[in-house]
Chains A and B, each alone.
Chain A
Amino acid sequence: MSFLNNVITGISLGSIYAIIALGYTMVYGIAKMLNFAHGDVIMVGAYVCFFATGSFGLHPVAGVLLAMVVCTILGTVIEGLAYKPLRQAPSLAVLITAIGVSWFLQNSAQLLWGAAPKVFTPVVSGGLSIFGGQLNISYVTILTVVSCLVIMVLLSAFIGKGKMGKAMRACSEDKGAAQLMGINVNSTISMTFAIGSALAAIAGVLMCSAYPTLMPTTGSLPGIKAFTAAVFGGIGSVPGAFVGGLLLGIIEIFAKAYISTDLSDAIVFLALIIVLLVKPSGLLGKYVPEKV
Chain B
Amino acid sequence: MALLQVNDIHVYYGSIHAVKGVSFEVNQGEVVTLIGANGAGKSTVLNTISGLLHPRTGSVVFEDKDLKGVQPHKVVEHGLAQVPEGRRIFLQMSVEENLEMGAFTQPGSTVEPGIADVYERFPRLKERRKQIAGTLSGGEQQMLAMGRALMSKPKLLMLDEPSMGLAPILVEQIFDIIKELHAAGTTILLVEQNAQAALAVADRAYVMETGKITLSGTGAELMASDEVQKAYLGG
Contacts and interface: CB of A to CB of B under 8 A. Distances in A.
B73 A184 contact: yes
Given A167-B104, A182-B73, A290 B91 contact: yes
B22 interface: no
B190 interface: no
Given A181-B148, A182-B152, A185-B73, A166 B84 contact: no
A177 interface: yes
Contacts, number: 78
Interface stretch (A51-59, A168-176, A219-227): A168-176
A142 B90 CA distance: 39
B interface, size bucket: 20 to 34
A184 B73 CA distance: 6
A286 B132 CA distance: 13
Contacts of A173: 90-93
A180 B76 contact: yes
B101 interface: yes
B93 A182 contact: no
A169 B99 CA distance: 14
Contact of B92 (A180, A288, A291): A288
B209 interface: no
B26 to A, nearest CB: 18
Interface in B121-175: 134, 136, 138, 141, 148-149, 152, 165
A183 interface: yes
B21 interface: no
A178 interface: yes
B101 A170 contact: yes
Interface string B87-101: 011111100010011
Contact of A176 (B74, B77, B88, B101): B88
Given A180-B82, A182-B152, A170 B102 contact: no
Given A178-B101, A182-B73, 13 more contacts: A166-B100, A169-B93, A169-B97, A170-B93, A174-B88, A176-B84, A177-B89, A180-B50, A180-B82, A180-B149, A181-B105, A182-B74, A288-B92
Interface of A: 163, 166-167, 169-170, 173-174, 176-185, 286, 288-292
